[in-house]
């Protein structure tokens, strides 16, 4: 532990497993108090118990479905009332209910994907950042996007559209909020060994489509995504905003 986030409060969404849980642990290791959220309290409680056993009193589990705007507002209000305003927001929660050709998607799956992946990110950012604006406070937003938002993504086209939207949102908000000392950046992971990506990771032919195009010829583990998120949340990145940083083993070099 080097204390790079000592005294900081952070919200990490989608933190009941995978990349979100790994980010929460990395932030706790660096001294932050981390409020973790996802749809179900039970999964959050398990993650909190595990990380708190290693870094006591660092994790606060609090359920919130970011696909529901009213829940987001109530969640941020509760965080502020019980723990104080956060200094860092990591938007990580996402969904991908449809895997297949773009023309085959049903409207309900389309709506769910955009409600969570775009509207959810935006509303969570608005609720947190507006409090920074109202109190003349600096802050850092880290949006977890994806390399599929930067490249064509057969069978993941709708999900990829939402991630491209997040990259665009990151750039525009960085311009709109920069003078208020609020930084907004994005991280674009490549293929990561998570439950979320298991359809691809556990299919050798599909996984090979990704790994063959990457310089490192492999997929990542969730912990390999966390270092850049610590950096972007810390004062080390005080002059970094509006950027989308690919953590993809070199996938986007081709």
Q: Which residues are catalytic?
A: 159
How far is the CA of 29 from the CAs of 3, 51, 77, 125, 233, in angstroms? 8, 9, 26, 24, 13
The side-by-side arrangement of strands in the sheet containing 182-189 is: 59-61, 33-37, 9-13, 88-91, 139-144, 182-189, 244-247
How far is the CA of 209 from the CAs of 67, 90, 96, 102, 117, in angstroms? 31, 29, 19, 19, 24
Tell me how far apart the alpha carbons of residues 49 and 64 are, in angstroms, rounded to a whole number: 18
Planar angle of CA 40, 132, 21, nearest 5 degrees: 30
- Please enumerate in sequence order all residues whose Cβ is within 8 A of that of 145, keeping only pairs 6 or more positions apart, or say none: 163, 166, 167, 170, 186, 187, 188, 244
Tokens representing residue 182 in the block: 């609020």
The closest alpha carbon to 44, from 66, 21, 22, 61, belongs to: 61
Tell me how far apart the alpha carbons of residues 142 and 91 are, in angstroms, rounded to a whole number: 6
Number of H helices, E strands in the chain: 9, 7
Planar angle of CA 146, 137, 81, nearest 5 degrees: 90
Tell me how far apart the alpha carbons of residues 75 and 61 are, in angstroms, rounded to a whole number: 11
């Amino acid at each position: 532990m080097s204390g790079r986030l000592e005294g900081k409060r952070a919200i990490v969404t989608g933190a009941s497993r995978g990349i979100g849980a790994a980010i929460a642990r990395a932030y706790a290791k660096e001294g932050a108090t981390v409020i973790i959220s996802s749809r179900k309290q039970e999964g959050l409680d398990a993650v909190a118990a595990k990380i708190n056993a290693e870094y006591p009193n660092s994790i606060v589990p609090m359920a919130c479905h970011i696909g529901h705007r009213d829940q987001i507002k109530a969640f941020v209000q509760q965080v502020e009332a019980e723990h104080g305003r956060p200094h860092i927001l990591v938007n990580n929660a996402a969904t991908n209910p449809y895997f297949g050709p773009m023309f085959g998607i049903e409207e309900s799956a389309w709506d769910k994907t955009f409600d969570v992946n775009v509207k959810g990110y935006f509303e969570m950012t608005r609720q947190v950042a507006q409090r920074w604006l109202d109190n003349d406070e600096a802050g850092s937003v880290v949006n977890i996007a994806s390399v599929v938002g930067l490249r064509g993504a057969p069978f993941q086209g709708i999900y990829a559209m939402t991630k491209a939207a997040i990259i665009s949102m990151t750039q525009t908000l960085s311009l709109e909020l920069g003078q208020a000392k609020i930084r907004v950046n994005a991280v674009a992971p490549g293929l990561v060994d998570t439950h979320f990506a298991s359809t691809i990771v556990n299919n050798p032919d599909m996984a090979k489509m990704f790994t063959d195009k990457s310089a490192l010829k492999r997929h990542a583990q969730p912990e390999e995504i966390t270092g850049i998120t610590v950096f972007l949340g810390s004062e080390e990145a005080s002059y970094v905003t509006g950027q989308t940083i690919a953590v993809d083993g070199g996938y986007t070099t081709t």
